[in-house]
Structure 1
Amino acid sequence: MGWLRYAESGRKIDCISNPNTAYPIPVHVEEVNDILSVAQYVLVVEKESVFQRLANDQFCKRNRCVVITGRGYPDVPTRRFLRLLIDKLHLPVYCLVDCDPYGFDILTTYKFGSLQMAYDATFLQVSEIQWLGVFVQDSDNYSIPQQCLLPLTVEDKRKVKAMLHRCYLQREVPKWRFELELLLYKGVKFEIEALSVHSLTFLSHEYLPSKINNGGYI
């Protein structure tokens, strides 16, 4: 979804005429060529429901961007296509995930690669990606109601503690590590959709534009 045009095996995909049209990620990324775009940035969102919310709000048309979702943990074609976009277009890339251990793990999969596929990390990781949210402190900054905050489970806490041992967090993204520590300290989690408690369009009309335009990412 977004301001993007590319050709795949002789078949042109044109999203410029309708920037809110969704297309599947190409499986054979090596066959993609002639990528053109007037987008100003790429936004990666964790899940399909948020992607659909942005499409309904005509987010790409209003903000001139490309939005991609891996529908949870991203598969190899999604990560390869994102890597290709950044290599060809040289655009800023932001990631929006739930404020929970699994959202954080998905974020690190995009940036550092999958632990299960470390041998292929060089070709798949997007080291340029910046974390847009949602952050632990967003629950206070945006007045998320208490009923939208869920306590971390025993499994959640175990996962957070395990992730804190990853050496790249301290070495390369200490601010990310701090957010993970804060998540464990606060003991609560919440989803991106919790922002919709203000209005259905709050995410696309206020939260995301404010974060991107004011440098509210790490």
Structure 2
Amino acid sequence: MEGKRSNTRPLTLLRKIKGFTRSIVEDLARGRPPLIYIERFRNYCTDTSGNCSCSSGLSTGKEAISLKRECHARRLDVMLRVLLIVQQLLQENRHGSKRDIYYMHPTVFKEQSVVDRAINDICILLQCSRHNLNVAMAVTVTPLMLEQDIISVAQYVIVVEKESVFQRLANDQFCKRNRCIVITGRGYPDVPTRRFLRLLIDKLHLPVYGLVDCDPYGFDILTTYKFGSLQMAYDATFLRVSEIQWLGVFVQDCDNYSIPQQCLLPLTAEDKRKIEAMLPRCYLQREVPQWRFELELLLHKGVKFEIEALSVHSLTFLSHEYLPSKIHNGGLKILSLNQMILHQNRLKTPISLNS
């Protein structure tokens, strides 16, 4: 399916749009209510048996949309309106943003999320990615960029969670000193950031590391890069960067790097609920059990801290000491089976979400 999406051409999409709308008109002409099936995808579940098919790029079933239900009729109306705009963009070889589309019918769409859902539905129906629809976002990876050779002297790529850390590394001239590429998605990454990162890795074949805060949101951001987002599970194989390695920061770093107690924050009840909700994700058990252990350790310790807490030693500690050391050691160390069992036994003490 990934290949179909990446090679989809405007004429092919226009033919698919024409066929889709023709089938709806024919149903209406014959007095039959249109029935549309949209495939559903997921990139994880909570089945810990390991028998699930998540992250495989395969459909997990189909959702039927019919005019018999008012909410479905509205959803189809929005989809057709967006599809008409997409058709015009393709025919005129122009690009428009999701926000442009929203403002073409604001009284109908009501809110941006309605347009976003319609675009996702259309991508699934037409078996394509958003860039094929000429629906652009803040930064667009164009088909021309995909065909170009990219040359770099960089030895690896670092993805940092937030802009403040990105600026810290820029001020320290980290890229120049270490021959690397630093990217930030400013929190949860958008599609252009993930697509650009995927392009870099495909073209340059470099190791890629992730640097996030030691809290449940940093962990969730890292898994978005590696496994994809639940909302865009249909496009996970096209956007995810499964090669990414977790560089830090880790719970045990607070001891290893002597982070003062005043730099540590207690996990909130919301933090604990989020961790509990993430722990059953099948890919943690199946593909990265060491990551799952780190999440359990975070919950057990009951504290979190930001990357910037390392600045307690010096402003340049992150770029001059921490990162070079972590990269030299290859990021998260993989524990042996015996070590993991030992650590798991140490975590047997029940944890209260109200504590």
CA distance in 2, matches of 1:69, 1:27: 16
Taking structure 1 as reference, are residues 112 and 47 closer, same or farther at Cα in structure 2, changes over 3 Å only? same
* Residue correspondence of structure 1 range 185-200 to structure 2 within 5 A: 185-200=300-315
* Residue correspondence of structure 1 range 92-131 to structure 2 within 5 A: 92-131=207-246
Q: Report how far residue 59 of structure 1 moved.
A: 0.1
CA distance in 1, matches of 2:161, 2:240: 16
Q: Report how far residue 194 of structure 1 moved.
A: 0.2
Rg comparison, structure with higher value:
2
CA distance in 2, matches of 1:66, 1:129: 14
CA distance in 2, matches of 1:121, 1:51: 26
CA deviation string 1:94-134 (max 9, x = no partner): 00000000000000000000011101100000000000000
Instruction: Tell whether the 8 Å contact from 1:54 to 1:204 is kept in structure 2 after alignment.
Output: yes
CA deviation string 1:125-180 (max 9, x = no partner): 00000000000000000000101100000000000000001010010000000000
Equivalent position amino acid for 2:222 in 1: L
TM-score, length-scaled by structure 2: 0.54
Q: Which has the higher strand share?
A: 1
Q: Report how far residue 27 of structure 1 moved.
A: 1.7
Q: Report how far residue 29 of structure 1 moved.
A: 3.9
Instruction: Tell whether the 8 Å contact from 1:29 to 1:81 is kept in structure 2 after alignment.
Output: no
CA distance in 2, matches of 1:142, 1:42: 24
* Residue correspondence of structure 1 range 157-172 to structure 2 within 5 A: 157-172=272-287
Unmatched runs of 5 consecutive residues or more in structure 1: 1-24
Matched, 1:66 2:184: no
CA distance in 1, matches of 2:235, 2:327: 30
TM-score, length-scaled by structure 1: 0.87
Equivalent position amino acid for 1:179 in 2: E
SS at match of 2:294: helix
Identity %: 88
Please identify, of 206-215 and 50-59, the stretch whose mean Cα deviation from structure 2 is larger: 206-215
SS at match of 2:210: strand
Matched, 1:181 2:296: yes
SS at match of 1:136: coil
CA distance in 1, matches of 2:314, 2:269: 32
Equivalent position amino acid for 1:82 in 2: L
CA distance in 1, matches of 2:160, 2:206: 16
CA distance in 2, matches of 1:49, 1:62: 19
Choose the corresponding residue for 1:87, options 188, 202, 216.
Answer: 202
SS at match of 2:149: strand
For the aligned residues, what is the CA RMSD?
1.0
CA distance in 1, matches of 2:195, 2:332: 23
Equivalent position amino acid for 1:194 in 2: A
Q: Report how far residue 31 of structure 1 moved.
A: 3.2
- Corresponding residue for residue 10 of structure 1: none
Number of aligned positions between the proteins: 194
CA distance in 1, matches of 2:142, 2:281: 30
- Corresponding residue for residue 168 of structure 2: 53
Choose the corresponding residue for 1:149, options 264, 268, 289.
Answer: 264
Q: Report how far residue 213 of structure 1 moved.
A: 1.0
Equivalent position amino acid for 1:120 in 2: D
- Corresponding residue for residue 133 of structure 1: 248
- Corresponding residue for residue 217 of structure 1: 332
Equivalent position amino acid for 1:169 in 2: L
- Corresponding residue for residue 31 of structure 1: 144
Q: Report how far residue 26 of structure 1 moved.
A: 3.8
Instruction: Tell whether the 8 Å contact from 2:141 to 2:195 is kept in structure 1 after alignment.
Output: no
